[in-house]
């Protein structure tokens, strides 16, 4: 599968609608999407019921907490994201009640400006994808929906909710080229999906993709990628400490500080100090903190492991060159 070049994105990942999120309290009816022609589009029945339940749970106090916790200001990673003020624990409980929601309703929730509506949709997708009796066809449809509407899975918590079960779970026994395409994407959230999805493989003791994608992302400019890379390297190290140490021996001097600190979190004090000292010495020599992130050159640096290369034709919803 061809990597997605900078400036290109798969079909269906563009901006949805034309409205700007409100900064004040919103009702469920206020979140109905208004397409460019001005005709109001009501969400399907199950999605409408979910939105009404959310509205009943909202509070100004919780909304204020979200505004402090997520960076939604101009130029920040969650710019324009609107939180109505529902605790995530309540969103997840509501998702369980709507766990049999159909795909059109899920997509209608993903289209909402309200963050908690999108979180509910992704949580339901994860529940369905990981259900023991989930049909293969349904799991594929969820995987395709996640990638096709990645434009609406556009915050770190949404990625972390869905990528392991919906993406990683689907790819568990399949070629994983799409993750390498996502790792080379110009979109922050697609790159985060690439590394976060590998947590499902780590459960099975498979670490190759985690290390390969982490290497691809070492020069990423975004702090939220540094944290994910370091965290997933740390988790890989739980299963094979020696392999983590070998990776750090090679890459620690050039790793972003946040990524390195997360990766070494479970090492003993002497090892942590050793790797931090290597990084400090390297920084003092080259006078820079983070190597430039260039998707095309990164693609040449790290190849997809042979047993992860795609053998089947591309299916709809995967990251392709348009």
DSSP codes joined into one string, 255-299: S-HHHHHHHTTTS-HHHHHHHHHHHHHHHHHH--SS----HHHHH
Question: What does the pLDDT read at residue 282?
Answer: 67
Give CA separation, 226 vs 68, 175, 278, in Å.
Answer: 22, 25, 18
DSSP letter at 165 equals I
Question: What does the pLDDT read at residue 78?
Answer: 84
Long-range contact list for 273-279, CB < 8 A, 24+ apart?
275/248, 278/252, 278/253, 279/252, 279/253, 279/254, 279/255
Tell me the C-alpha distance between 210 and 251, whole Å: 14
Dump pLDDT digits (tens) for 29-39.
Answer: 333 443 344 44
Q: What are phi and psi of 60, to 5 degrees?
A: -65, -35
pLDDT in tens, the chain (322 residues): 333 333 333 333 333 233 333 333 333 333 344 334 444 578 999 999 999 999 999 999 999 999 889 988 888 888 889 999 999 999 999 999 999 999 999 999 999 999 999 999 999 999 999 999 999 999 999 999 999 999 999 999 999 999 999 999 999 999 999 999 999 999 999 999 999 999 999 999 999 999 999 999 999 999 999 999 999 999 999 999 999 999 999 999 999 999 999 999 999 999 999 999 999 886 654 434 444 444 433 333 344 555 554 433 333 333 322 2
Dump pLDDT digits (tens) for 141-187.
Answer: 999 999 999 999 999 999 999 999 999 999 999 999 999 999 999 99
Q: Other CB atoms closer than 10 Å to residue 93's CB: what's the count?
A: 12
Contact 123, 112 (CB under 8 A): no
Question: What does the pLDDT read at residue 295?
Answer: 42
Q: Where are the domains of the chain?
A: 1-173
Sign of CA dihedral 243, 248, 251, 256: positive
């Amino acid at each position: 599968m061809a990597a997605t070049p900078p400036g290109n994105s798969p079909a269906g990942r563009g901006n949805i609608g034309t409205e700007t999120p409100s900064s004040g309290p919103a009702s469920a009816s206020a979140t109905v999407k208004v397409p460019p022609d001005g005709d109001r589009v009501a969400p399907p029945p199950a999605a409408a019921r979910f939105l009404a339940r959310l509205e009943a749970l909202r509070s100004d106090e919780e909304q204020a907490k979200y505004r402090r916790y997520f960076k939604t200001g101009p130029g920040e990673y969650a710019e324009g994201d609107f939180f109505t003020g529902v605790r995530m624990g309540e969103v997840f409980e509501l998702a369980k009640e709507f766990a049999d929601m159909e795909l059109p309703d899920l997509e209608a929730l993903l289209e909402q400006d309200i963050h908690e509506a999108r979180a509910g949709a992704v949580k339901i997708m994860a529940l369905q994808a990981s259900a023991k009796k989930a049909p293969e066809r349904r799991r594929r449809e969820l995987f395709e929906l996640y990638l096709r509407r990645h434009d609406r899975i556009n915050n770190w918590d949404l990625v972390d909710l869905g990528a392991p079960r919906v993406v990683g779970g689907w790819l568990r026994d399949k070629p994983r080229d799409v993750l390498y395409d996502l790792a080379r994407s110009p979109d922050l959230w697609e790159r985060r999906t690439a590394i976060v999805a590998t947590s499902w493989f780590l459960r099975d003791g498979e670490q190759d993709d985690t290390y390969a994608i982490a290497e691809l992302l070492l020069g990423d400019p975004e702090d939220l990628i540094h944290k994910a890379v370091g965290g997933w390297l740390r988790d890989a190290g739980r299963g094979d400490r020696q392999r983590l140490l070998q990776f750090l021996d090679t890459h620690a001097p050039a790793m972003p500080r946040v990524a390195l600190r997360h990766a070494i979190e479970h090492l003993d004090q002497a090892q942590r100090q050793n790797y931090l000292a290597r990084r400090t010495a390297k920084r003092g020599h080259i006078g820079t903190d983070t190597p430039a992130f260039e998707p095309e050159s990164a693609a040449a640096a790290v190849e997809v492991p042979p047993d992860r290369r795609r053998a089947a034709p591309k299916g709809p919803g995967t990251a392709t060159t348009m």
